[in-house]
């Protein structure tokens, strides 16, 4: 049931990116045209929004997302966010956005020290950002998490600031899988256009292959914003 909207959403591929095909599929299901963006190109191909998907960019050597920050495509992306380009970072993409300074805080090793893949309940906290208008405030959604380094950390002042300005996007409920401070699963920038989260909405767009289709709302939200913009 794909509705063509004419919107074009870029999906970045670094060497070691894993969930790019899934992000492209989610974009397509939401009704936009996915555009593959290559890490080595200084070119965003004029897309209307960008998803930085999950995986292990450049092997996640040194520190998750630390090398990706220096890629040509990220240089362009950081500049474009200054002009208001909506960006969603998922899992490794969230780590890359934090490393790039687009979002505050960092993601560290899970509290249990194991990689965790499970279906996770989340509560929608901010439903006014570019990526979350399709959710009711307080709605609980079931979306997979799968990561080894997803424990969100920031200093207390930053955490307070995120809370008071409504920049916490989703919070873990029914158990925190990784020890994130204040159960934070995802956050946005001050404008609400750049968002990052550890859970994988692109793996919850079809109940056949995911636990639910609860994740589709994030992509539909962005499309709403692009179409009305």
Q: Output 146 or 167, the one with its CB closest to another protein.
A: 146
Q: Is 66 in the site for another protein (CB under 8 A)?
A: no
Tokens of 112: 């249990």
Cβ atoms of 5 and 224 within 8 Å: the answer is no
Does residue 177 contact residue 184 with C-beta atoms inside 8 Å? no
Lookup: tokens for 99: 């490393």
Q: Is 210 in the site for another protein (CB under 8 A)?
A: yes
List the one residue out of 4, 124, 100, 6 whose CA is nearest residue 52: 100
Instruction: Report the relative pairing of strands 184-188 and 194-197 from DSSP bridges.
Output: antiparallel
Site size for another protein (CB under 8 A) = 29
Which of these segments, 76-84, 99-107, 123-131, 143-151, binds another protein (CB under 8 A)?
Answer: 143-151
CB of 118 to another protein, least distance (A): 5
91 classed as catalytic: yes
Please calculate the CA angle 154-90-205 and round it to the nearest 5 degrees.
Answer: 140
**Binding status of residue 203 toward another protein by CB under 8 A:** yes
User: Is 58 a binder of another protein (CB under 8 A)?
Assistant: yes
The catalytically annotated residue of 39, 91, 147, 149 is 91
Containing 83, the helix (H) or strand (E) segment is: none
Hey, what are 15's tokens?
A: 């060497």
The reply to whether 149 belongs to the active site is no
Give the other-Cβ count within 10 Å of 5's Cβ: 17
- Catalytic-residue membership of 147: no
Neighbours of 226 (CB within 10 A): 18
Among 66, 80, 106, 117, binds another protein (CB under 8 A): 117
Q: Which of 76, 125, 149, 202 is catalytic?
A: 202
Between residue 89 and residue 108, which ones bind another protein under the rule CB under 8 A? none
Which C-beta is closer to another protein: that of 161 or that of 206? 206
* Alpha carbon distances (Å) from 145 to 33, 99, 151: 25, 20, 12
**Site for another protein (CB under 8 A): which residue of 5, 8, 18, 182?**
18
Residues near another protein, by CB under 8 A: 15-16, 18-19, 21-22, 25, 55-56, 58-61, 112, 114-118, 144, 146, 148, 200, 202-203, 206, 208-210
Active-site positions? 91, 200, 202
């Amino acid at each position: 049931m794909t509705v063509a909207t004419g919107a074009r959403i870029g999906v970045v591929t670094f060497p070691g990116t894993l969930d790019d095909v899934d992000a492209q599929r989610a974009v397509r299901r939401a009704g936009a045209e996915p555009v593959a963006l290559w890490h080595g190109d200084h070119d965003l191909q004029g897309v209307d929004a960008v998803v930085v998907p999950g995986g292990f960019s450049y092997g996640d050597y040194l520190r998750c997302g630390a090398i990706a920050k220096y890629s040509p495509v990220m240089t362009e992306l950081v500049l474009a966010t200054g002009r208001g380009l909506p960006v969603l970072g998922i899992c490794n993409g969230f780590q890359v956005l934090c490393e790039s300074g687009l979002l505050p805080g960092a993601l560290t090793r899970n509290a249990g020290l194991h990689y965790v893949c499970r279906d996770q309940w989340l509560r929608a906290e901010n439903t006014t950002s570019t990526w979350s208008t399709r959710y009711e405030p307080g709605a609980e959604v079931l979306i997979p998490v799968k990561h080894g380094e997803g424990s969100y950390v920031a200093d207390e002042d930053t955490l307070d600031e995120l809370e008071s300005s409504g920049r916490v996007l989703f919070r873990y409920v029914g158990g925190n899988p990784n020890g994130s401070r204040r159960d934070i699963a995802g956050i946005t920038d001050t404008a609400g256009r750049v968002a990052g989260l550890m859970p994988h909405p692109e793996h919850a767009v079809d109940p056949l292959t995911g636990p639910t289709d609860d994740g589709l709302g994030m992509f539909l939200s962005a499309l709403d914003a692009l179409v009305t913009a």
